[in-house]
Amino acid sequence: MQALFLYNTLSRKKEEFKAINPPFVGMYVCGPTVYSDVHLGNCRTFISFDLLYRYLLHLGYKVRYVRNITDAGHLEGDRDEGDDKFAKKAKLEQVEPMEIVQKYTLGFHDVMREFNALPPSIEPTATGHICEQIEMIKEIINQGLAYEKNGTVYFDVEKYSKEFNYGQLTNRKLEELLEGTRELSGQDEKHGRLDFALWISAKPETLMRWPSPWGWGFPGWHIECSAMSRKYLGDTFDIHGGGMDLQATHHANEIAQSQACYHKTPVNYWIHTNMLTVNGTRMSKSAGNGFLPEELFTGNHPLLEKGYKPLAVRFFMLQTHYRSTLDFSNEALQASEKGFERLMESYKTLQTLQASSSSSENIAELQKNCYQAMNDDLNTSVLIAHLFDTVRIINSANDKKTQLTSSDITLLKKIYDDFIFDVLGLKPEKGNEKLDSVLEKVMRMVLEMRANAKTTKNFQLSDEIRDKLLAAGIQIKDGKEGSAWKI
């Protein structure tokens, strides 16, 4: 099998993936800030990394997948307002900040489960790692690359840039970065325009605060990921991921913090996923154009014509490459939903396929194509195109137009299990098993009755059965070997 190539933001090229210590792989992904419901755009990122996680597992790697929960330290705009997003929301809802955190963390997990995303190996929280963050800030101060002012600690970007390349992830020079930044106002405590807070001093009314060498306060946003990734994955690890919106600020700062501490590049492969857009504009919390997964599943949203099943939505997302923007629309969703159903239907057909002694298809070639697509920077668009080839092959064989040997069928089943279920994380929508088995028996009976009506040329009755079943949501599919049905 060929090697896996991944696009590395650091080099802006596809690079062959080589683990530091195979078969182990350390992967860190920036998780959600749990002060409100995750929207669909957030989900896309986590589904993309779920795909990478699943594929690495499929290839036999032992992956430690760390995805944090940000439950402290995110300020909303100007930091002078004192409270972070959690405390603000808590005041609004008149609850404890940790009630906010708990509520939206549970909600996030529910949604991820619906999308059939595997849970990460470790899901650390910022509030659970205050000590580690304080220790790391102390190290940066000891290196002379951070300074304290009135209980707040800042990272000194310009001083850091004398020794290290601050703009490496975004391919920009310090001067360019400075040009694009706002002037410091007279009241600013920061030395330099690009400096960012590592620790923020708390005001008396601040709800979430911890003691530190610099007084009561709370951590800045960027330090948590550096501290937690280092704790669980080491000074240098394999893969760090997140949305593209984090690249320029959050990830650039993460690299700076780690480099400042231990003078080593913290990550070998930086992977960034692209945004989900609505009518061409990025879906975001602040823009207010976000869909909640729940609204999508129920169809309860002015822009939605109907509800969509979670895995149909997952399939919709996987049809686009993770580094392309994906535009959200009813039409596109409905197209994906139909394709997804056809794919799942062919899996059922595959289970009932009769083997022939000869073969008219090259299934091994098809399997190779699937690996090739995935190895090319997880090209799921191409992978899915190949999978639709299998649909055609299966349906043709089912119609007795082509032949498959039993080893062909076995290999096809393996392709489905490997790529559709294990790697893409799709699966047929599960109903109630007991109900299904009863329905199966009832349907067998009904189809038998209809077949009898047809043999006696009582087409009025057979059509009535068909039409009434359709009205009830069951579609009859007549074939040479009798009739089948689907919901």
Measured from the CB atom, the residue of 19 and 124 that comes closer to RNA is 124
Question: Residues 396, 403, 418, 421: which binds RNA (CB under 7 A)?
Answer: 396
The piece of 133-141, 248-256, 303-311, 419-427 that touches RNA (CB under 7 A) is: 248-256
Give dist(CA 329, CA 322) in Å, integer.
17
Give dist(CA 268, CA 238) in Å, integer.
5
Measured from the CB atom, the residue of 19 and 243 that comes closer to RNA is 243
**Parallel, antiparallel or unpaired: strands 267-273 and 237-243:** parallel
**Parallel, antiparallel or unpaired: strands 326-328 and 281-282:** unpaired
Query: Inter-axis angle of helices 406-415 and 380-398, to 10 degrees?
Result: 150
Q: What is the phi/psi pair of residue 455, to 5°?
A: -70, -30
Contact between 240 and RNA by CB under 7 A: the answer reads: no
CB of 184: closest distance to RNA in angstroms? 11
The beta-strand segments (E) located in 349-481 are 475-479
Measured from the CB atom, the residue of 30 and 72 that comes closer to RNA is 30
Continuous segment of H or E residues that includes residue 15: strand 13-16
Question: Residues 102, 121, 206, 395: which binds RNA (CB under 7 A)?
Answer: 395
Contact between 348 and RNA by CB under 7 A: the answer reads: no
Measured from the CB atom, the residue of 85 and 159 that comes closer to RNA is 85
The beta-strand segments (E) located in 353-481 are 475-479
- Tokens 């990478």 map to which residue? 52
Give dist(CA 29, CA 69) in Å, integer.
10
Contact between 481 and RNA by CB under 7 A: the answer reads: no
Measured from the CB atom, the residue of 242 and 293 that comes closer to RNA is 242
CB of 434: closest distance to RNA in angstroms? 27
CB of 388: closest distance to RNA in angstroms? 4
Among the listed residues 92, 89, 91, the one whose alpha carbon sits nearest the alpha carbon of residue 101: 89
Contact between 381 and RNA by CB under 7 A: the answer reads: yes
Contact between 462 and RNA by CB under 7 A: the answer reads: yes
Question: Residues 298, 325, 407, 456: which binds RNA (CB under 7 A)?
Answer: 325
Contact between 227 and RNA by CB under 7 A: the answer reads: no
Size of the site for RNA (CB under 7 A): 88
Q: For 334, how many CA atoms within 13 A lie in the half-sphere containing its CB?
A: 7
Question: Residues 21, 324, 407, 456: which binds RNA (CB under 7 A)?
Answer: 324
Question: Residues 18, 62, 306, 342: which binds RNA (CB under 7 A)?
Answer: 342
Question: Of residues 174-193, which lie at the interface with RNA (CB under 7 A)?
Answer: 176-177, 179-182
For 16, other C-beta atoms within 10 Å of its C-beta total 10
Contact between 368 and RNA by CB under 7 A: the answer reads: no
Question: Of residues 264-283, which lie at the interface with RNA (CB under 7 A)?
Answer: 273, 275-277, 280-283
The piece of 50-58, 87-95, 169-177, 305-313 that touches RNA (CB under 7 A) is: 169-177
Is the CB of residue 368 less than 8 Å from the CB of residue 414?
no
Measured from the CB atom, the residue of 145 and 271 that comes closer to RNA is 271
Contact between 80 and RNA by CB under 7 A: the answer reads: no
For 25, other C-beta atoms within 10 Å of its C-beta total 24
CB of 280: closest distance to RNA in angstroms? 4
Give dist(CA 118, CA 126) in Å, integer.
21
Give dist(CA 364, CA 408) in Å, integer.
8
Contact between 246 and RNA by CB under 7 A: the answer reads: yes
Measured from the CB atom, the residue of 201 and 380 that comes closer to RNA is 380
Question: Residues 116, 206, 249, 359: which binds RNA (CB under 7 A)?
Answer: 249
Contact between 13 and RNA by CB under 7 A: the answer reads: no
Question: Of residues 51-70, which lie at the interface with RNA (CB under 7 A)?
Answer: 70
Contact between 304 and RNA by CB under 7 A: the answer reads: no
For 253, other C-beta atoms within 10 Å of its C-beta total 24
Measured from the CB atom, the residue of 292 and 476 that comes closer to RNA is 476
Is 289 exposed, middle or buried (CB count within 10 Å of its CB: 0-12, 13-18, 19+)? middle
Measured from the CB atom, the residue of 436 and 467 that comes closer to RNA is 467
Give dist(CA 53, CA 27) in Å, integer.
8
Is the CB of residue 47 less than 8 Å from the CB of residue 317?
yes
Question: Residues 134, 271, 423, 476: which binds RNA (CB under 7 A)?
Answer: 476
Measured from the CB atom, the residue of 282 and 368 that comes closer to RNA is 282
Is the CB of residue 269 less than 8 Å from the CB of residue 15?
yes
Question: Of residues 104-143, which lie at the interface with RNA (CB under 7 A)?
Answer: none
β partners of residue 65? 27
Sign of the alpha-carbon dihedral angle for 317, 319, 322, 326 = negative
